[in-house]
Each structure stands twice: as structure tokens, then as C-alpha cells.
Amino acid sequence: MISAADDLSAFGQDPWWVIGLKVVLIFVVLVLLTLFNIWWERRVVARMQHRIGPNVHGPFGLLQSLADGVKLALKEDIIPKAADKVVFLLAPVLATVPAFVTFAVIPFGPEVNFFGHQTPLQLTDMPVAVLFVMAVASIGIYGIVLGGWSSGSTYSLLGGLRSSAQMISYEVSMGLALVAVFLYAGSMSTSEIVEAQDDLWFGLILVPSFVIYVISMIGEVNRAPFDLPEAEGELVGGFHTEYSSLKFALFFLAEYINMATVSALATTLFLGGWHAPFWIDELYSGFNEGYWPVLWFFGKVLFFIFIFIWLRGSLPRLRYDQFMAFGWKRLIPVSLVWIVAVATIRSISLDGGIDRRYLLIGIGVLAVVFLALFFVGDPGGDDEEEAAPEGGRAGGYPVPPMPAGGAVRGAAAPLTFETSTVAASAGKDE
């Protein structure tokens, strides 16, 4: 295997103007991608709900997101009296900046001729690039927590606390899902992981890791059906309730860039990164050279963005205790068992004790078993919940005592269609 020092020798050799131009291009691409993703989400959800969606501003309504951004910028900027002004102003910045920084180690393509200079389509790389992405992305949660705390609002604070608990829960399972990738790639460098998938994508041979990562990344970025920190039915909008104008726009921008970040990381670690799909690569090898790989990379990223949109338009929001129990009781235990299995198979295969064909068959069987265990319901779950007596527990959750007279009404049998109709008629007659 190529050592990390030799593999990363292409980085750190660029002149200052190439580095500056790469930084500007990454910033512009992420902002434009955010505007496109907002428009695309509206159009896809509208199509799923048999509506039209934005179609007035610009061709196909493409300028609708830009119009919304201008509207946000021109709205009145309000700071609550009870807010901690310094933290209140810094929180949106703290949430947005790490979202941009994480793309510094994402490979967009191979080495190309960049304005007469030979350089990889990646700002930089390091031996622990994936850990760098997760560490920097974790800083963004402080912006959400501090934004909720500094608002001086109870419901904003609850939304911020939910975000912190959600991040801890689902970042653990996300990190565990990546261990199998590290075992097979032999590196945590993003460019070397992409090179390790030249023949076969890790998403095909590490299916449980791929599924766990996709679920965890949706919970990590607080998107539906896991958008509990913004549950307007419970928290009146969540951690950004008190924000307006550009500060709210920064939170909005951070959410969509984080969606692109986790999608780009999933593309890099599981779908071969910028490599063309292997059935296309066999037709013409030039698809993996020059600027063609940028097309494949963003195509895969938009595939994951579509999954975000599809889930938002399809699934209802979970209850918070169900969501947390799912992370701690399902995702993390399955991840731990899967890591042990992958490490065992990998060790045997490296020692020459198992053929590659049998290795793939074994991984496939393990994947089916783990997926079956993953989706098996808990015995004695919600289906067996029964109403508890006054002040007792229903399904394991405390139920407060009913007020005087309320217990009798609560215990009464539900009205049938006939009795409810008669009662309504009697009320009209009176």
C-alpha cells in the first residue's frame, strides 16, 4: 500500500493564487448549490403533492431562492430584549463557518490543468481528513445551542438542547459506520479512500455501514423526519424562533450546506467519490480524467440531496423519545456488532485465508442478517401499550393525574358515529 506521505505529496505545492482561487470557487459553488437545492426541494415536494411550485421568477422559477434571500436581507433585524446580544449575533456565524470549512478536504476530481498549473481538484488533504470533517462539523452544533440559549426564550432553549442531544446520539453511530470504510481503505485520507474504490464502491460491499450512515446523516443535520429541534408543533419553531433577517438566513444557509457536506462525505466514502460509475467507465476511460469527474461527483451528491427531499415529503416527524431510542438502542448496537464482523472478515482475508468471492458472499449474508435485525420491532413496543389508571404509566411513560371530573370524562367510551350525530342534533335543537 502507498504510504500516506507519498500519496499526499501532491498537496501543499500550490502557489498562493491557486489556493485563493480554489477557496473562492468552493464558496461560490456552495452558495449556488444552496440556492439550487432550495428551489429543487420546492419543486420536488410540489410535484409529490400535485402542486406547481416556484415557476415565476426566472426560467422554471430558478431565481425564486435568490428572491427569498433578498427578502430576508431587507427584513427588519430584531434582537429580543432578554437576549445576550454578543452570543446572539455570533451564534449564526458559528453555525455557518464550519459548514464551509468542511469542504476543504473533499475531493472533487483528480489532478487537472488548472489555469496552466497541475493541481488536484481538492483544496487540501491530510492523513486524518475524515476525522477533520467530523470534528469541524461538530463545532457547528455550538452555534445552534448558543443561538437557542442566547435568545432568552424557553422554547428556543429547548430546541438548542434537543440539537445537542441529537448530535451526540447520531454522531456516534455515524462515526462507527465509517470504521468499516477505514478498515477496507487502510486510510482516513479522503483522496486515498476514493482511490481505494477504483474497482468496487464500498457502498456495495459494506451495505449495513452505508444504511447506518445515511440514517445518521439525516439525524445529524436535523432534517425531516428527524427535525425535532425545529418541531413547530411543540417548540414554535425551535432554536431560531427569535431570529430574523440575515441572522436567520445564516442558520438556513448552514442547514443546506450541512446537507451538502454529509452528502459529499457519503459520496466520497461509499460511492467512489468522483469516479464515474463502473459501467460507464468501461465504455470510455476518459470519463475519469480532466473535469468529467466533477460531473459524477455532483450527480452523486444531488442523489443524496434528493433522498433528503423525498423523506421530507413522505414521512411524518417522529416522537422525540422514539427518535433517541432508535439511535441508542438500534443504530449504535448494530454498528458495534457490524464492526466486529467486518474486522474479523478483513483480518482473515488479509492473511490469505479466504477467497475474494467467498468474502463478498459472506459480507452479503451478514448484511442481510443485520438489516433484518435492524428493522425487527421491539417486543412489547407501541402495539402493546395500554391505557394506565389515573396517575400511572401508559406504555412506560408517566401520565399526570386528570383534574377533578376529567378522569370520568377521559375514561368514558368514545362516541360512535350515531351517538355523536344525535348529540350534535340535540345541541342544535337547544
Q: Above 60 in pLDDT, residue 408? A: no
331/424: higher pLDDT: 331
36 part of a folded domain: yes
> Does residue 289 register a pLDDT over 70?
yes
Question: How many Å apart are CA 362 and CA 342, to the nearest integer?
Answer: 10
- Give a yes or no: residue 236 inside a domain: yes
184 contact partners, CB below 8 Å, separation of at least 6: 196, 202, 205, 206, 342, 346
**Whether the predicted pLDDT of 41 surpasses 90:** yes
Residue 217 near residue 189 (C-beta atoms within 8 A): no
Q: Is 115 among the domain residues?
A: yes
User: Which grid cell sits at 42?
Assistant: 420546492
Helix axes 64-74, 245-270, angle to 10 degrees: 140
Q: Where are the alpha helices (H) located in 81-153, listed in sequence order?
A: 85-101, 129-150
Instruction: Give the integer Cα–Cα distance in Å for 57 and 408.
Output: 57
Is position 61 within any domain? yes
- Note whether residue 320 is domain-resident: yes
Q: Over the stretch 4-40, which tens digit does the pLDDT of each residue have?
A: 444 677 787 888 899 999 999 999 999 999 999 999 9
Rounded to two decimals, what is the model's pTM? 0.79
407-430 residues labelled b (16+ CB within 10 A) or e (exposed): eeeeeeeeeeeeeeeeeeeeeeee
What total of structural domains would you count in the chain? 1
Query: Containing H/E element for 290?
Result: none
And the C-alpha cell for 276? 464515474
Torsion 244-86-220-260 (CA) sign:
positive
At a CB cut-off of 8 Å and minimum separation 6, what does 185 contact?
192, 193, 196, 197, 202
Q: 423 in a domain, yes or no?
A: no
**Which residues pair with residue 119 across a beta bridge?**
112
Q: Is residue 422 one of the residues assigned to a domain?
A: no
Domain with 358, as residue range(s), is 11-377
Q: Which cell numbers hold the place of 362?
A: 459472506
The whole-number pLDDT of residue 227 equals 81
Per DSSP, the three-state class of 313 is coil
Going by the DSSP 8-state scheme, the letter that residue 261 receives in this structure is H
Pairwise CA distance, residues 74 & 372, whole Å: 52
Residue 116 lies in a domain: yes
